[in-house]
Amino acid sequence: MKTILLSTLLVVVGCSTSPTVKAAEAQTPKPGAPTELLSELGANTAKLSLRFEREGQNVSAVVSGLDGVTITSPPEVLTGVPVKRGEVRSFEVAFTGRGHLVVSVRGTFAGATQARVHTVAIGDVVKEKDGTTQVTTDGDTVKLMP
């Protein structure tokens, strides 16, 4: 029974990931708030700049940490402000740790509420392990994931 369950799981996981689909997604921009994030990293601070590609209303931006990063400055960098097309808003964020800095932007652009999440890698980000391959007592090869 365990062999059937593991085999089914491997088939489902194998079918759900396709390098061709991922390559196509990377070339197509994701819909969301029309923003671009530029960053300059220091030892414990980051200078972040959000560039707005469209005019927007009620725009907010919040900074958070992921994978070991802790934000030590106020997380709200924009709160319900209007922005113009081409406008750049810059701010400094203090942090500790290594991992990812996450900037979540939300606002009304062209009459629709849109959001976008930007990430910036900080330091040497730990990569996930590939797992361990083992052969079961039935002779099936399975990969144990962490």
Residue 108 has pLDDT above 80, yes or no: yes
Number of domains in the chain: 1
- Above 80 in pLDDT, residue 115? yes
Under 8 Å between Cβ of 68 and 33: no
Q: What is the dihedral of CA 32, 27, 99, 93, to 10 degrees?
A: -50
Domain at 102, CATH number: 2.60.40.1230
Domain range for residue 41?
32-123
Question: Is residue 5 included in any domain, yes or no?
Answer: no
The whole-number pLDDT of residue 125 equals: 55
- pLDDT tens for 11-29 read 444 544 433 333 333 444 5
- Give the model confidence (pLDDT) of 52-74 as tens digits: 999 999 999 999 988 888 999 88
89 forms bridges with which residues in the sheet?
Answer: 50
Q: For residues 40 and 95, give the distance between their C-alpha atoms in angstroms, rounded to a whole number.
A: 13
Q: What is the DSSP string of 34-84?
A: -EEEEEEE-SSEEEEEEEESS-EEEEEEEEEEETT-EE-S-SEEEEEEEE-
Which pair of structure tokens corresponds to residue 126? Answer: 């730990």
Q: How far apart are CA 100 and CA 61, in angstroms?
A: 16
Q: Is residue 13 part of a domain?
A: no
User: What is the arithmetic mean of pLDDT over 36-43?
Assistant: 87
Residues 107/83, Cβ–Cβ less than 8 Å: yes
> Is 98 domain-assigned?
yes
117 in a structural domain: yes
Q: Is residue 23 part of a domain?
A: no
pLDDT band at 98 (very low <50, low <70, confident <90, very high): confident
27 belongs to a structural domain: no
The answer to whether residue 105 sits within a structural domain is yes
Q: Is residue 131 part of a domain?
A: no
Helix (H) / strand (E) element for 16: namely helix 2-16
